[in-house]
A = this chain, B = another copy of it.
Amino acid sequence: MDAAEFRRRGKEMVDFVADYQENIEHRRVYPDVEPGYLRSMIPSEAPLEPESYEDVLRDVDRVIMPGVTHWLSPHFYAYYANSTSFPSILADLLSSGIGTIGFTWAANPACSELETVMLDWLGKMLQLPEDFLSETQGQGGGVIQGTASEATLMALLSARLKTVKCVQESDPQRSEADIISKLIAYTSEEAHSSVEKASIIGGVVIRMVPTDEHFSVRAETLEKMVAEDKATGYIPFFFCATLGTTPCCAFDKIDELGPICNAENIWMHIDAAYAGCAFICPEFRPLLNGVEFADSFSINPNKFLLVGFDCSAMWVKKSADLTRAFQMDPEYLKHEHQGSGLVKDYMHWGIPMARRFRSLKLWFVFRMYGLRGLQAFIRKHVELAKTFENLVRGDNNFEICAEVVMGLVCFRLKGSDELNKALLKQITRTGKIHLVPCTLRGRFVLRFVVCGRTTELRHIQEAWKHITELSSKLLQNLFDHEGKEN
């Protein structure tokens, strides 16, 4: 395929994507395929000779589309969103099209520098303390990680090294392995599974901190656990706070937790993957009060800021904590400005070496929407969630299971877990809308997250109507069944 053919095929693909998004409502949001459906639909080996592009595109419709979960559908209410938008897709096309890779500054100066400035832009939108910005020429700064999981892992690993060094300063005989074996990390029992995964990778023990009645970690609880662990010879070193937990969008009280972490030399990382995006709205910003105590902080613009996956923004107060942990220096990666303090070699800030030009997505989206446009988008989603909450509250068969702060509503049928599981099964089987469950205080709960960029009031109303129709049938069956049994 030469450039001339690419012009033609590329334009067709743009139309394909536009058509897809314009008509996505009419697709079954959750696919109706069985495990292994795909293998039998395509050959078992790559072709020897080139095939025609028409055949490939036909197979996208025939083979791929029937098996896709349509994340961009207004009927998609599962997980947290892939919050993409057309400007983000254009920026991504530009990134693929110019094919430049950033790891050191020299590998692509524009990539390194735009990333630095975009993280400053976003940091200011969030009113982060100056210590987290690069422009102040202090020790802090931002970086794009692929996922929140990687941000958490980097924070934990940096904290691990920092603590080892610190302990060894006062006790040079003590081995790294011995210190690591005594380290304790903490996170909420409601935290995302990636925090526990990070602790396993880091080879350290993690303790799940119980939450209060609002599913928030409180100072007192953490303080007590830390004291107990210290008393038995352990070394508390890392606390991952969550702002906007995955199950029910709860908020740890970072303004009370931060001072404890600071006093105890515990690295505080804040994982605000979803909810953190909303802090660009003044009405939500107070939830971030206490960030000044944090060592690192991250949000996923790809979850709630109209930026397509993958894009997780992370800020640290002392970037050296991150970089010195993993700085390798082979000849083929050296360049003349390295170590000058003037440039950022982002490969030392994360797990992977090579990196896509992802800051373009932020730049395009920030400029095409403006801060006001992004705020309006967030407010609309929160508004729609409140509407759904009110619908639920208006129906005596249902209950709301956690405070609705942003775009997530946790609800359930009053009744057994089995009943709610049966309802979700019906919803999934029918495939009109898609949502996933969570567990809150041991109970099975349905999560309804406003995800789609194009979700409107009518979708919310339709979704509720659909849910109540399915639940009515279920309740009727149950009633009939119980009637028969009596």
Contact = CB atoms under 8 A, between A and B. Distances in A.
Interface of A: 1-7, 9-11, 13-18, 20-22, 31, 33, 35-39, 42, 44-51, 53, 55-56, 60, 63-72, 79, 82, 84-90, 92-94, 96-101, 105-111, 113-114, 116-117, 120-122, 124-125, 135, 146-150, 153, 157, 160, 175-178, 180-181, 192-194, 196-197, 200-203, 246-247, 308-310, 325-326, 328-334, 336-337, 340, 342-343, 351-354, 356, 360, 363-364, 366-373, 428, 436-439, 444, 447
Given A5-B86, A146-B352, A181-B177, A447 B332 contact: yes
Given A35-B342, A47-B366, A68-B111, 20 more contacts: A6-B86, A6-B90, A10-B93, A17-B93, A17-B97, A35-B337, A39-B113, A44-B135, A63-B110, A67-B113, A68-B108, A68-B110, A89-B93, A101-B309, A177-B203, A181-B181, A193-B353, A202-B203, A246-B332, A332-B437
B89 A351 contact: no
A374 to B, nearest CB: 9
Contacts of A193: 328-330, 333, 353
A239 B48 CA distance: 35
Contact of A71 (B11, B100, B337): B100
Contacts of A353: 147-149, 193-194
Given A100-B71, A101-B309, A178-B177, A94 B16 contact: yes
7 contacts: A2-B86, A21-B97, A46-B124, A88-B96, A92-B96, A146-B146, A331-B444
How many of these chains are in the complex? 2
Contacts of A4: 18
Given A45-B121, A93-B17, A113-B36, A309 B356 contact: yes
- Chief secondary structure at chain A's binding surface: helix
A373 to B, nearest CB: 5
Contact of A113 (B18, B38, B438): B38
B247 A149 contact: no
A117 B42 contact: yes
Contact of A114 (B38, B47, B180): B38
Contacts of A105: 35
A105 to B, nearest CB: 7
